[in-house]
């Protein structure tokens, strides 16, 4: 039995993360940087080791645990921080090798048992073996064969993959019918300085961002001291950096194309592209608004590109340890959208960001909104194809977008009795606004409409260790081919602990031609419904379960129920947690 509320909450976090991350066999996890309940994440690592016999195998964990000395003041030295981390089961130091440099000395001093070092070394080597990183040690080196004639170079293959991933990640948040444009537009206004940029589509951990971090590994001697931490350096004004960064990414990624350049390439010869690179991350001036309105006036459609820049240095507004108090678009880019909308020209807004932003005013004013979550080098062509109707976006949100700051935290999977969702479907609201998010988890639109049939479970009764298996027929009722992302959710109706109102079990992306019907089969292990019982054990309990199939967590199209039979069952070491899907034509 847990000894305290904090311990119970900790076990809930640990054991449910095992289920969410796929159960045994996921290779590594980084303990959090924060310190909830005065605990900087070291005991989180210990907790994973404790539940390993009935939940997971070993973990090769990552940890920037120099924070034990720098931020949390829990260790008097990096050497002691290394001893604490190794003892907790953290096996890898990242990103710098600082605290793990003296384990031999710790062993000689008797402060650390040699078996602890052996255990961590074994975990790391086992992980490297699984990844094939040790294969070259066992086989003689062989030359890399030449590519056959007609085979695309690796760079082209990677670019094709990048483009496919970006196309699937693009999310259509709102659309009143302005997309796809019919007929093809004769005059297009492309507005916003981000429309002409490539760098904005890359994240802080991308290769191009790494080249911008000119201070990486830089040491400065000052009165015998050493400058190790340069977090504050990003706040130094850096005039000219954005332009140089844009030049740099185009040198590093010559195949990357901006949104405006991609549109210009695809538009028919008779189409006119009017560009107004006005407004941006730092500020939107009255002159910017006037130029944007002038460009939009008389256009068939206006495309306004807004968002954030993610990185480490320069005028970044997002990234690791780059936090903002306000989640609205920086630089008053909302005013840019409103100035364009005021012209009466149909307005499409592209939002570039790697995290949820407050888009209530944008969604209220624009005719369509697309979310481009750091799509990388293929962002420009992918967005241009979707905007012109050459492809149909079908991405889904992996997070919820709030209506306001006061609504936070708002997320999918909250437990019964808390959060915006209730088992009975009753509407929960604030006195001054809605409780439901602006765009919920799993949300995403496309250019067609799908009709769902009834949910048909393969069996009405299942047992722990078995599978939940349910099928549904989906029909594309519009005259264009498109993809649908089918999602399976569940709710445990009665349990010994408070369960989520809705839990994602499985999902799949299925391509359905115009007018066609496909049968989609979704399966998930019963173990995915495991919970922490009052004894603190990860178990599956018998009882009735609601199943829901839909296009998002808030757009449920079909429902059914089944019953888990048998006794309370502890999850075995080889328990499975992840769902799957397949499809067939009707």
Whole-number Å distance between alpha carbons of 304 and 383: 12
- SS3 (DSSP) at 137: helix
Q: Supply the pTM of this predicted model.
A: 0.85
- Listed in sequence order, the residues at least 6 apart from 396 whose beta carbon sits closer than 8 Å to its beta carbon are 171, 442, 443, 444, 485, 487, 507, 552
pLDDT at 215: 41
pLDDT at 9: 46
Whole-number Å distance between alpha carbons of 216 and 252: 18
DSSP output for 30-92: PPPSS-GGG--SHHHHHHHHHHGGGS------EE-TTHHHHTS---SSHHHHHHHHHHHT--E
CATH entry, 5-135, from 3.30.1330.10, 3.20.20.70, 3.30.450.20, 3.20.20.300: 3.20.20.300
Return per-residue pLDDT of the chain as tens, 586 residues. Answer: 444 434 444 444 554 555 555 444 455 566 555 554 455 555 455 555 554 433 344 444 445 555 665 566 777 887 887 888 788 777 777 666 666 767 788 888 998 999 988 988 888 888 888 878 888 777 766 665 665 555 555 577 888 899 999 999 999 999 999 999 988 889 999 999 999 999 999 998 888 887 776 443 343 333 444 444 444 444 444 555 556 778 888 888 888 999 999 999 998 776 788 888 877 787 889 999 999 999 999 999 999 999 999 988 777 899 888 888 899 999 899 999 999 999 999 999 999 999 999 999 999 999 999 999 999 999 999 999 999 999 999 999 999 999 999 999 999 988 888 888 776 666 778 899 999 999 999 999 999 999 999 999 999 999 999 999 999 999 999 889 999 999 999 999 999 999 999 999 999 999 999 999 999 999 999 999 998 888 878 899 999 999 999 999 999 999 999 999 999 999 875 566 677 778 877 7
Instruction: Give φ, ψ of 449 to 5 degrees.
Output: -125, 135
What is the DSSP code (8-state) at residue 280?
-
Cis preceding-peptide flag for 565 (omega within 30 of 0): no
442 touches 354 (CB < 8 A): no
Comparing C-alpha atoms, which of 200, 395, 377, 189 is closest to residue 275?
189
- The dihedral of CA 151, 156, 159, 160: what is its sign? negative
What is the DSSP code (8-state) at residue 315?
S
CATH of domain 450-585: 2.60.40.10
CATH code 3.40.710.10 for 162-387: no
- Dmax over CA atoms of the chain, in Å, equals 80
Whole-number Å distance between alpha carbons of 496 and 505: 20
Count CA atoms closer than 13 A to 458's CA, side-chain side.
12
Whole-number Å distance between alpha carbons of 558 and 322: 42
What is the DSSP code (8-state) at residue 411?
-
> What region, left, alpha or beta, does residue 195 occupy, with left being phi > 0 and alpha being psi -120 to 50 degrees?
alpha
Comparing C-alpha atoms, which of 482, 477, 459 is closest to residue 469?
459
Comparing C-alpha atoms, which of 305, 296, 291, 299 is closest to residue 261?
305
pLDDT at 562: 97
Q: Is 87 exposed, middle or buried (0-12, 13-18, 19+ CB in 10 A)?
A: middle
214 touches 326 (CB < 8 A): no
Kindly report the number of other CB atoms within 10 A of residue 479's CB atom: 8
473 touches 516 (CB < 8 A): no
pLDDT at 521: 97
What is the DSSP code (8-state) at residue 347?
E
Whole-number Å distance between alpha carbons of 17 and 31: 12
Whole-number Å distance between alpha carbons of 4 and 152: 60
353 membership: H or E segment, kind and range: none
* N-term to C-term CA, the chain: 52
Whole-number Å distance between alpha carbons of 172 and 185: 20
- Considering only CA atoms, give the Rg of the chain: 26
Q: Where are the alpha helices (DSSP H) in 267-303?
A: 286-296
Q: How far is CA 386 from CA 180, 185, 382, in A?
A: 8, 14, 6
pLDDT at 72: 67
Parse the chain into domains and list their residue ranges.
5-135, 162-387, 450-585
pLDDT at 550: 98
């Amino acid at each position: 039995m847990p000894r305290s509320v904090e311990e119970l909450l900790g076990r809930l976090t640990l054991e449910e993360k095992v289920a969410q991350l796929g159960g045994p066999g996921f290779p590594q996890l980084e303990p959090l940087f924060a310190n909830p309940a005065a605990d900087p994440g070291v005991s989180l690592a210990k907790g994973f080791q404790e539940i390993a016999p009935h939940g997971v195998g070993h973990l090769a964990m990552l940890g920037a645990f120099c924070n034990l000395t720098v931020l949390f003041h829990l260790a008097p030295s990096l050497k002691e921080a290394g001893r604490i981390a190794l003892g907790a089961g953290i096996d890898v130091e990242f990103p710098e090798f600082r605290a793990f440099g003296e384990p031999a000395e710790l062993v000689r001093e008797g402060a650390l048992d040699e078996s602890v070092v052996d255990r961590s070394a074994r975990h790391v080597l086992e992980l490297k073996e699984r990844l094939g990183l040790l294969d070259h040690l066992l086989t003689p080196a062989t030359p890399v064969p030449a590519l056959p004639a007609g085979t695309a170079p690796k760079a082209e293959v990677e670019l094709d993959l990048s483009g496919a991933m970006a196309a699937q990640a693009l999310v259509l948040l709102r659309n009143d019918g302005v997309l796809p444009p019919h007929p093809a537009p004769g005059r297009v206004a492309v507005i916003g300085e981000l429309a002409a940029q490539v760098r904005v589509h890359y994240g802080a951990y991308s290769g191009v961002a790494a080249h911008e971090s000119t201070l990486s590994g830089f040491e400065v001697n000052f009165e015998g001291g050493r400058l190790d931490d340069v977090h504050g350096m990003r706040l130094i004004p850096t005039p000219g950096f954005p332009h140089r960064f844009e030049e740099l990414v185009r040198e590093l990624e010559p195949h990357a194309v901006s949104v405006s350049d991609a549109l210009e390439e695809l538009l028919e010869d008779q189409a006119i592209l009017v560009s107004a690179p006005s407004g941006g991350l730092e500020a939107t001036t009255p002159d910017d608004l006037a130029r944007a309105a002038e460009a939009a006036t008389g256009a068939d459609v206006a495309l306004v590109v807004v968002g954030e820049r993610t990185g480490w240095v320069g005028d970044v507004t997002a990234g690791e340890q780059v936090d903002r108090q306000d989640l609205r678009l920086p630089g008053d880019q909302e005013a840019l959208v409103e100035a364009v909308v005021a012209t009466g020209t149909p307005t499409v807004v592209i939002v570039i960001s790697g995290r949820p932003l407050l888009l209530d005013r944008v969604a209220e004013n624009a005719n369509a909104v697309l979310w481009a979550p750091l799509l990388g080098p293929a962002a420009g062509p992918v967005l241009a194809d979707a905007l012109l109707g050459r492809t149909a976006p079908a991405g889904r949100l992996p997070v919820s977008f709030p209506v306001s700051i006061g609504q936070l935290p708002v997320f999918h999977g909250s437990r019964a009795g808390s959060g915006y969702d209730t088992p009975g479907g009753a509407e929960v609201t604030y006195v001054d606004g809605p409780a439901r998010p602006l765009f919920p988890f799993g949300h995403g639109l496309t250019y067609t409409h799908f009709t769902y049939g009834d949910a048909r479970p393969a069996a009405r009764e299942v047992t722990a260790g078995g599978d939940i298996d349910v099928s549904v027929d989906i029909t594309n009722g519009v005259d264009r081919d498109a993809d649908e992302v089918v999602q399976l959710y569940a709710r445990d109706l009665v349990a010994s602990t408070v369960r989520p109102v809705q839990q994602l079990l499985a999902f799949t992306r299925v391509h359905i031609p115009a007018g066609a019907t496909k049968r989609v089969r979704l399966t998930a292990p019963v173990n995915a419904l495991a919970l922490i019982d009052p004894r603190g054990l990860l178990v599956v309990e018998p009882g009735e379960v609601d199943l829901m199939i839909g296009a998002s967590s808030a757009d449920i199209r079909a429902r059914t129920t089944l019953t888990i039979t048998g006794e309370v069952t502890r999850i075995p070491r080889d328990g499975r947690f992840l769902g799957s899907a397949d499809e067939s034509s009707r």
